[in-house]
Amino acid sequence: MPHDHVIADRADDDGDLVPVRPAPGWMGPASAWAGGVGLVTGVAWPVVGKWRRSVGAVADGPWMSGDLWASFPVFVAVVGVLLGMGVLWQVRAHRRPYSAGVVGARLQAWTGIVLGGVAVGLVYGYVIAYAAWRAMTG
């Protein structure tokens, strides 16, 4: 059969079946890991020694080298979210019911998206809370 490689029945403008390729196998786990690393570094960021200085730099104004530590959890978390969105984008064309591999990739993608979102929320929430605390205490 000429269309054995076709995962889903999708046709182009001419009516020919178009192969739908799944996302690479590394994208699902990479999404979950990036979201997890973003969450762990986002939680550790205000606690670890030199990182505390970067909170003041982010909240109070002029850029300092400590700002790089503030952006690391956010950047890693955003990578996790983007990889997860890429997996979900590729999976949308698969036939239902999904195979076990596709279900696993979706679960890993959603895990990366949720963990990344929580990480970004923690970092920005802490920066906002720190700025408010500094404003109230003078």
Number of structural domains (the chain) is 1
pLDDT in tens, 1-46: 454 444 545 666 776 766 667 788 899 999 999 999 999 998 887 7
Q: Please indicate, yes or no, if residue 91 is contained in any of the structural domains.
A: yes
- Residue 37 near residue 43 (C-beta atoms within 8 A): no
- Token output for 110: 């959603």
- pLDDT at residue number 63: 59
Residue 53: inside a domain: yes
Domain-embedded: residue 15:
no
**What is residue 99's DSSP assignment?**
P
pTM for this prediction: 0.75
In a domain, 4, yes or no: no
How far apart CA 69 and CA 42 sit, in angstroms, is 10
Domain with 79 in it: 27-137
pLDDT of residue 46: 75
Please check whether residue 9 lies inside any domain of the structure.
no
Candidate ranges 9-13, 63-67, 88-92, 126-130; pick with highest mean pLDDT = 88-92
Q: 127 lies in a domain? A: yes
What is 15-56 written as a DSSP string? S-B---PPPPTTHHHHHHHHHHHHHHHHHHTTTSTTHHHHHH
Cβ pair 74, 123 in contact under 8 A: yes
Q: How confident is the model at residue 61 (pLDDT cuts 50, 70, 90)?
A: low
Q: Is 39 helix (H, G, I), strand (E, B) or coil?
A: helix
Q: Is residue 7 part of a domain?
A: no
Domain assignment of residue 100, yes or no:
yes
Q: What is the mean pLDDT of the chain?
A: 79
pLDDT score at 1 = 46
